[in-house]
Amino acid sequence: MQARGRYLLAGLAACLLAGLYLRPGRRRAAAASPPEPEPEPRRGSALAAGPAEAGGGRRARGGAGPAGGRCRMETCFDFSRCRRHGFRVYVYPARGRLSEPQRRVLRSLRGSRFYTPEPGRACLLVLPLERGPRSPDAPARPPHWNGGRNHLLFSLHRDGPLGFEPGQALLAQAGPGAPGFRPRFDVSLPLFPRRLPQRGGARAGPFPAPRRYLLVFEGQRSPSGLGAQTRAALHNGRDLLLLTACRPGPGARCDRPAAAADDARYDSQELMQNSSFCLVPWGRRLGFFRFLEALQAACIPVLLSNGWELPFSEVIDWNKAAIIGDERLLLQIPSITRSIDHDRVLALRQQTQFLWETYFSSVEKIVLTTLEIIQDRIQAHISRNHVMWNAQPGGLYVLPQFSTSLADFPFYYCALGRSPAKEFTAVIQAASPLLSQSQPIVRLILAVAKSKYCTQIVVLWSCEKPPPPRSWWPSVPVPFSVVEGEHKTMSSRFFPYDLIRTDAVLSLDEDTVLSTNEVDFAFTVWCSFPERIVGYPARSHYWDSSKGWWAYTSKWTNEYSMVLTGAAFYHRYYHYLYTFYLPGSLHSMVDQMANCEDILMNFLVSAVTKLPPIKVTQKKQYKETMMQQGSKTSRWADPEHFAQRQACMNSFASWFGFMPLVHSQMRLDPVLFKDQVSILRKKYRDIERL
């Protein structure tokens, strides 16, 4: 077995199941009975269970029970508390002084969609850890303590040692040591630096390029751990740099590198950004910080592990992003790192960026990841699998309550070797009363129904007047339904209706003008980019430095960052995400203004994919036609409408904590678009005709 094999775990997994369970039976050799070393007293297998085993015990839990202070979810957690109201989290009011990290964690908890102000409805109760010395029988017995059941404590480094027995409470702790750590019960946190943003967080670093150095390490000159001799033996000044950060002095602390003369030309951050591998003495205070810094800098951490739990190791596969080593093999590190293939280095580095950005780049992400890990345990049958946690876009954006099957999400087509099914559901938002058969919506329905990929048309009736009878609607060859929402709000247009069964959704406004050709072409493009919004009307944003805010523009420009959902394809999962991931505050903002739902959808999809939407070509009368036909009732004509959209942009950006929109400079056209060949040779002719 070449070690390469371990990169092919997936293949091996299949192999296990095939090889382990299927093949032996298939290859059964005739009656070649093996020579038994000794006549077996038992008939058949040596593994036949003894008779005593029959009727085995129920709830016969091995090992120590909860009495020993050791806990597992099934022994120390009351699942029934979560049944009625779902996964809700309550946070006790803090009475004493809180450390800064503790305060920031609590802020994220209160802001999360799991938060409930009522302890009676909570599945999980978070007890703030106050600063300062604690009595051994603390935590002062909060009202619902019950031995710590269903309680979660965030024990952060600035809070000092816990000082009391957590009992049956879950402990989320930065780098808990192996002995005290209760596997699949406690959660291992990263130690986050002070400057970590509350939410949002920096995008991943620049596209990983090959680096100048192979391996760097910058440490304090300490008698333990990486000794000066070892460092000297490894350091070659060329591509292996093992540096000492500061000169030891009597009582001097080494917060800032005072740089020894020889090492003066190296800056710690710059070193990491220019190296492929970073040595991290995991398990020491310095290492905890270095670890995240290395991840952020796309420098593959080489962990000199002492066996402590890596952050979120319950769900994150660190073997894909780090080299987990052994301090005892320090001198082999150069040859080991050199032996790692170029493509594996690239893969490891990309994974560092993915993990950093997805789980560690803000306090909120760290807190949410902790909660989602616990939620996955509580609903083990509705939980994320390994791929969902460890591949783009990561566990926080993949809600298993939508589906536990990878095939139901827009992100894994490539990984599964599939392509989207060639079918879509058209969802038309109808807000104005229908007076005549010549209204655009009728033509729209007819044009869309003619697409060979259209399998269903749904009209979302959000007009106050009742919808016209079925006979009024044009007759179409596909299933047609009118849904009258309970709440006729803007957000309800993105509600995940059970009716929508296809992966692809074509979202339309009632006054959109599209030809069948255009619909077909946009759909084939979407099939190549199923995780993005693919559509026609494009808009852009820019930073208005004079006003200090994000500006929205609908002018024709050389680039765009949004494609409006008045005529766009996207995956139906985004309906679910829009409805259940986004907070009520943004929903109600959209509903009150009856505006901006399309901008919010673009924010959401770009935040998930980190990519711009895709604009496809369209007949240019789209805009004019729309203006004329719908202008009397159209919300587009209203100047206030535009001001609202501007305000929306800024509210959304502040909720996300960053500006997720990304610009694109290209438009996708049919291959022969406006080429000088006979129109008869072109597949999408209507798009060019005016």
Partner 1 sequence: MCASAKYNTRGPALIPRMKTKHRIYYITLFSIVLLGLIATGMFQFWPHSIESSSDWTVEKRSVHDVPVVKLPAESPIPERGDLSCRMHTCFDVYRCGFNPKNKIKVYIYSLKKYVDEYGMLVSNTISREYNELLTAISDSDFYTDDVNRACLFVPSIDVLNQNTLRVKETAQALAQLSRWDRGTNHLLFNMLPGGPPDYNTALDVPRDRALLAGGGFSTWTYRQGYDVSIPVYSPLSVEVELPERRPGPRRYFILSSQMALHPEYRSDLEALQAENGESVLVLDKCTNLSEGVPSVRKRCHKNQVFDYPQVLQEATFCIVLRGARLGQAVLSDVLQAGCVPVVIADSYILPFSEVLDWKRASVVIPEEKMPEMYSILQSIPQRQIEEMQRQKWSSVSNPLFLPLIPPQSQGFTAIVLTYDRVESLFRVITEVSKVPSLSKLLVVWNNQNKNPPEDSLWPKIRVPLKVVKTTENKLSNRFFPYDEIETEAVLAIDDDIIMLTSDELQFGYEVWREFPDRLVGYPGRLHLWDHEMNKWKYESEWTNEVSMVLTGAAFYHKYFNYLYTYKMPGDIKNWVDAHMNCEDIAMNFLVANVTGKAVIKVTPRKKFKCPECTAIDGLSLDQTHMVERSECINKFASVFGTMPLKVVEHRADPVLYKDDFPEKLKSFPNIGSL
Residues 552-571 that bind partner 1 (CB under 8 A): 556-560
Least CB distance from residue 44 to partner 1, whole Å?
6
C-alpha–C-alpha distance, residues 537 and 621, integer Å:
12
Give CA separation, 186 vs 155, 167, 192, 377, 449, in Å: 11, 12, 18, 11, 54
C-beta separation of 411 from 388 below 8 A: no
C-alpha–C-alpha distance, residues 620 and 624, integer Å:
8
Q: Is 679 in the site for partner 1 (CB under 8 A)?
A: no
Least CB distance from residue 557 to partner 1, whole Å?
7
Q: Does 598 qualify as catalytic in the annotation?
A: yes
C-alpha–C-alpha distance, residues 579 and 487, integer Å:
13
Q: Between 261 and 677, name the residue whose CB sits nearer to partner 1.
A: 677
Q: Which strand (E) or helix (H) includes residue 672?
A: none
Q: Between 56 and 249, name the residue whose CB sits nearer to partner 1.
A: 56
C-alpha–C-alpha distance, residues 606 and 617, integer Å:
21
By CB under 8 A, the residues from 38 to 77 that bind partner 1 are 38, 40-42, 44-50, 52-64, 70, 72, 74
Per-residue x/- track, 627-666, partner 1 (CB under 8 A): -----------------------------------x-xxx
Q: Which among 127-135, 206-214, 271-279, 425-433 is the span making contact with partner 1, rule CB under 8 A?
A: 206-214
Bridge partner list, 550:
543
Q: Is 2 in the site for partner 1 (CB under 8 A)?
A: yes
Q: What is the CA radius of gyration of the chain?
A: 30
Q: Is 683 in the site for partner 1 (CB under 8 A)?
A: yes
C-beta separation of 418 from 424 below 8 A: no
Q: Between 178 and 228, name the residue whose CB sits nearer to partner 1.
A: 178
Q: Between 1 and 435, name the residue whose CB sits nearer to partner 1.
A: 1
Q: Is 135 in the site for partner 1 (CB under 8 A)?
A: no
Contact pick of 135, 335, 436, 545 for partner 1 (by CB under 8 A): 335
Q: Between 263 and 408, name the residue whose CB sits nearer to partner 1.
A: 408
Q: Between 263 and 559, name the residue whose CB sits nearer to partner 1.
A: 559
By CB under 8 A, the residues from 152 to 191 that bind partner 1 are 178-179, 183-184
Q: Between 443 and 685, name the residue whose CB sits nearer to partner 1.
A: 685
Q: Exposed e or buried b for every residue in 282-316, given b needs 16+ CB within 10 A?
A: bbbebbbbbbbbbbbbbbbbbbbbeebbbbbebbb
**How many chain residues bind partner 1 (CB under 8 A)?**
151
Q: Is 212 in the site for partner 1 (CB under 8 A)?
A: no
Least CB distance from residue 547 to partner 1, whole Å?
23
Which CB contacts under 8 angstroms, 24+ apart, belong to 324-330?
327/225, 327/281, 330/226, 330/230, 330/234, 330/304
Least CB distance from residue 397 to partner 1, whole Å?
12
Q: Is 542 in the site for partner 1 (CB under 8 A)?
A: no
Q: Between 22 and 260, name the residue whose CB sits nearer to partner 1.
A: 22
Q: Which two tokens stand for residue 228?
A: 């000066």
Least CB distance from residue 333 to partner 1, whole Å?
9
Q: Is 623 in the site for partner 1 (CB under 8 A)?
A: no
> Which residues fall within 8 angstroms of residue 574, CB to CB, at 6 or more apart?
410, 494, 505, 601, 604, 605
Q: Is 676 in the site for partner 1 (CB under 8 A)?
A: yes
Q: Which among 243-251, 303-311, 624-632, 649-657 is the span making contact with partner 1, rule CB under 8 A?
A: 303-311
Least CB distance from residue 566 to partner 1, whole Å?
18
By CB under 8 A, the residues from 10 to 29 that bind partner 1 are 10-29
Q: Is 230 in the site for partner 1 (CB under 8 A)?
A: no
Q: Please tell me which residue in 262, 598, 669, 686 is annotated as part of the active site.
A: 598
Q: Which residue has the tokens 């670093």?
A: 205
Amino acid sitting at position 210:
P
By CB under 8 A, the residues from 404 to 463 that bind partner 1 are 404-408, 414-417
One DSSP character per residue, 285-299 reads: HHHHHHHHHHHHTTP
Contact pick of 276, 429, 502, 524 for partner 1 (by CB under 8 A): 524
Q: Between 21 and 469, name the residue whose CB sits nearer to partner 1.
A: 21
Q: Which strand (E) or helix (H) includes residue 153?
A: strand 151-155
Give CA separation, 92 vs 111, 118, 131, in Å: 14, 10, 15
Q: Which two tokens stand for residue 349?
A: 């580095």
Contact pick of 112, 274, 385, 634 for partner 1 (by CB under 8 A): 385
Amino acid sitting at position 155:
S
Q: Is 479 in the site for partner 1 (CB under 8 A)?
A: no
C-alpha–C-alpha distance, residues 664 and 535, integer Å:
13
Q: Is 681 in the site for partner 1 (CB under 8 A)?
A: yes
Q: Is 79 in the site for partner 1 (CB under 8 A)?
A: yes
- Among 252, 244, 247, 253, residue whose Cα is nearest residue 219: 244
Q: Is 195 in the site for partner 1 (CB under 8 A)?
A: no
Q: Between 589 and 616, name the residue whose CB sits nearer to partner 1.
A: 616
Q: Is 224 in the site for partner 1 (CB under 8 A)?
A: no
By CB under 8 A, the residues from 359 to 378 that bind partner 1 are none
Q: Is 306 in the site for partner 1 (CB under 8 A)?
A: yes
594: left (phi over 0), alpha (psi -120 to 50) or beta: left
**3-state DSSP of 458-488:** EEEECCCCCCCCHHHCCCCCCCEEEEECCCC
CA atoms within 13 A on the CB side of 453: 25
Active site residues: 598
